[in-house]
């Protein structure tokens, strides 16, 4: 038992252990989701979180120590966000012929996502820092963290809220769209891309390639628009 404790004490000081644990947890979660047929509730990110949390609790590892190892994955969010230019370019002809509905849907979705979060946070009496951290929740993590820091929020809290938003969107989008009888894959994909950023976009690709392509478009455009409108909404509503 002493040898196991000593080994763990050594491994826990290495950032590599948490990078390995994160990748392993996601591979297991993705395997489980695939085995179950990728149902909405078996989201790999959600399952990964549920796998990692007990490990951190049992090993009494705080977030700072964990993030030292997992930050390489966080770093990859930047290049992944830049790569969103590819679906924009690949679908440039479709975008060119649908500029008006895309712009209208994007404006509505972005303003409602940020504005409703601010209004509800104020209604429930949440502290200003929490409110500011919540405002950019529906955009992709690298952009949301930058916005949160710029407007006076707490980037670490924003990261948690962004992940929660993406998971909720990915889990609920398919049954919600079926309930509303929305069958156009372009509309379904665009809606989840605006509301649930990368995690929702990944779910859209699982369901239908057209929905995934439009979710990518919405995610990229929403990142740009949110960075412009959130500071204005905060100044007006807070």
Task: Give the pLDDT mean for 171-191.
Answer: 89
Q: Any idea how long the chain is?
A: 238
Which of 94-98, 114-118, 171-175, 184-188 is least confident?
Answer: 94-98
Residue 61, token pair as written in the block: 């590892």
Residue 238 pLDDT exceeds 80: no
Judge contact between 80 and 198, C-beta under 8 A: yes
pLDDT at 14: 63
In this predicted structure, the answer to whether residue 6 has a pLDDT above a threshold of 60 is no
Least confident of 38-42, 120-124, 167-171: 38-42
pLDDT score, position 98: 78
| Per-residue CA distances from 172 to 53, 70, 110, 221 (Å) | 23, 27, 19, 22
147 contact partners, CB below 8 Å, separation of at least 6: 135, 136, 139, 153, 158, 226, 227, 230, 231
Residue range 74-90: average pLDDT?
72
- Tell which phi-psi region holds residue 125, choosing left (phi > 0), alpha (psi between -120 and 50) or beta: left
Worst-scoring range by mean pLDDT, 5-19, 37-51, 89-103, 147-161?
5-19
pLDDT at 187 over 80: yes
What pLDDT, on the 0 to 100 scale, is given for residue 236?
Answer: 80
Q: What percent of the chain has pLDDT over 90?
A: 4
pLDDT of residue 42: 81
Q: Mean of the pLDDT values across residues 44-66?
A: 84
Q: Which of 86-95, 179-188, 203-212 has the highest mean pLDDT?
A: 179-188
User: What is the per-residue pLDDT across 132-167, written as a single tens digit (0 to 9) for each?
Assistant: 888 888 888 878 888 888 888 888 888 888 888 888
Query: Which tokens in the block code for residue 230?
Result: 């959130």
Residue 28's pLDDT is what?
Answer: 92
Tell whether the torsion through CA atoms of 159, 162, 167 and 170 is positive or negative: negative
Mean pLDDT (whole number) for 25-42: 86
Average pLDDT of the residues of the chain: 82
Which residue is associated with the tokens 């938003």?
165
Q: What is the pLDDT of residues 106-128, one digit of tens each?
A: 999 889 988 888 888 888 888 88
CA dihedral 141, 134, 18, 67 (to 10 degrees): 90
Split at pLDDT 50, 70, 90, the class of 36 is confident
Structure letter (DSSP) for residue 139:
S
Q: What are φ and ψ of residue 181, in 5° steps?
A: 60, 40
Task: Give the range among 87-91, 95-99, 121-125, 222-226 with minimum mean pLDDT.
Answer: 87-91
Q: What is the distance between the alpha carbons of residues 128 and 154, in angstroms, rounded to a whole number?
A: 10
Q: Is residue 128 within 8 Å of 149, Cβ to Cβ?
A: no
What DSSP string describes 15-64?
HHHHHHHHHHHHHHHHHHHHHTT--TT--HHHHHHHHHHHHHHHTT--HH
């Amino acid at each position: 038992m002493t040898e196991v404790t000593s080994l763990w004490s050594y491994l826990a000081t290495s950032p590599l252990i948490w990078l390995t644990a994160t990748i392993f947890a996601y591979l297991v979660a993705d395997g489980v989701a695939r085995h179950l047929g990728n149902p909405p509730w078996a989201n790999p990110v959600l399952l990964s979180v549920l796998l990692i949390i007990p490990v951190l609790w049992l090993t009494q590892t705080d977030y700072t120590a964990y993030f030292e190892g997992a930050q390489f994955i966080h770093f990859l969010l930047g290049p992944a966000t830049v790569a969103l230019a590819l679906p924009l370019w690949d679908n440039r002809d479709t975008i060119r012929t649908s500029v008006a509905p895309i712009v209208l849907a994007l404006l509505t979705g972005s303003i409602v996502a940020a504005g409703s979060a601010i209004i509800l946070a104020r209604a429930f009496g949440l502290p200003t820092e929490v409110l500011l951290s919540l405002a950019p929740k529906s955009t992709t993590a690298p952009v949301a963290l930058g916005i949160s820091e710029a407007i006076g929020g707490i980037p670490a809290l924003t990261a948690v809220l962004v992940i929660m938003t993406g998971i909720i969107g990915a889990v609920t989008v398919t049954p919600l769209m079926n309930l509303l009888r929305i069958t156009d894959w372009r509309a379904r994909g665009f809606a989840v891309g605006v509301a649930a950023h990368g995690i929702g976009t990944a779910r859209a690709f699982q369901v239908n390639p057209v929905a995934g392509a439009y979710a990518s478009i919405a995610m990229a455009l929403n990142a740009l628009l949110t960075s412009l409108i959130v500071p204005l909404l905060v100044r007006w509503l807070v």
